[in-house]
Amino acid sequence: MPDYAVVTEKLRRSFDDLVAVDGIDLQVAAGEIYGFLGPNGAGKSTAVRMLTTLLMPTSGTAFVAGRDVIREPVEVRLRIGAALQDAALDPKQTGLELLRLQGRLYGLSGRDIDMRIGELESLIEIGDAIKRQVGTYSGGMKRRLDLAASLMHNPEVLFLDEPTTGLDPISRARVWDEVRRINRELGVTIFLTTQYLEEADALADRIGIITHGKLAIEGTPAALKRQLGSDVIVVRVDGDAQEAKRAVESIAAIEAVDVYDEEISIRVANGAGFISAVALALNESSIRVRELTLRTPTLDDVFLSVTGGRLQQEEAADEEAER
């Protein structure tokens, strides 16, 4: 399968009676940046663990870099890189020592290691910090070093698990630039999971959203947003959002109304022509409106439509529960 970096067919994983991944079919083209999104518990992490050979499928097939993850897991590992959300970096090692160790683990010669480090230094812009201990690095520098380590053996496919979580906007923008450069200059296929929908919108050539173990929707960011219609009217209310939904559902030409907490999201072809009708319907139902805005669809709207929740709010709730 030379034209595809990742191919799955009816990929499934269950844990006793729980079906975590329920027969997903993927085709990720070589050289593509593919964004893989989903709410907590949707099966996203389980799918990525199978693709990176950390977990065996219950049934179905998966090929990564042309190799079968079930029959050829070692060959798959030699052809992929993975930068996980929580990088396990030794704070006592220097960046240079870590990269050399990574090269040796993959069987590279000393000459090849030196050559590869030289290439990666310019790509990820670590600079003189590569000679300092990792414990002195900022969060952004650690992420860039982790990226470099995952690229030491020149992988064909790079799995990035939430590469910018916890970074400030400037560091996040730098990682975005580095991901683009890795893809463009090295020709590496990138399989990206992220909790930031604007990140997927900015980086991904195509996006897949998984929910309840199934791939619910897939396409380019622009195509997915076009599917929702040309405009979105967002209303934040005091009180029952379901009551607000009922108040506007009867308005002609409204395509759909989604509810999340105290917000309703109204999809309509001509938002400017119907925003006054929405405001009037809410006023007649004695619903107090805190905010009423009109905008074009975003990936957040796509995610809400497909999963019934907003990605970043779900991630935040999950992190709070863990604390």
- In percent, the amount of the chain with pLDDT more than 90 equals 54
What is the four-CA torsion angle of 131, 155, 33, 179, rounded to 10 degrees?
10
Task: Encode pLDDT of 148-188 as tens digits.
Answer: 888 899 899 999 988 887 778 888 888 888 899 889 988 99
Most confident residue range from 8-17, 127-136, 227-236, 254-263: 8-17
Mean pLDDT of 216-220: 95
pLDDT at 17 > cutoff 80:
yes
Q: Which of 320, 319, 315, 321 is nearest to 44 (CA)?
A: 315
For β-strands 67-68 and 80-83, DSSP reports them as unpaired
Domains defined for the chain, CATH in brackets: 4-220 (3.40.50.300), 224-322 (3.30.70.100)
Band (pLDDT 50/70/90 cuts) for residue 41 is confident
pLDDT at 82 > cutoff 80:
yes
Band (pLDDT 50/70/90 cuts) for residue 312 is low
Backbone angles phi, psi at 307, to 5 degrees: -110, -15
Strand runs labelled E in the chain: 4-15, 18-29, 33-37, 59-64, 67-68, 80-83, 157-161, 189-193, 206-211, 214-219, 231-238, 254-260, 263-268, 288-295
pLDDT at 313 > cutoff 70:
no
Task: Encode pLDDT of 281-311 as tens digits.
Answer: 999 898 999 999 998 888 988 898 888 776 6
The count of C-alpha atoms lying within 13 angstroms of the C-alpha of 141, restricted to the half-sphere facing its C-beta, is 16
- How much is the CA Rg of the chain, to the nearest whole Å? 22
pLDDT at 255 > cutoff 70:
yes
Q: Say what the pTM is.
A: 0.83
Cβ neighbours around 244 below 10 Å, total = 27
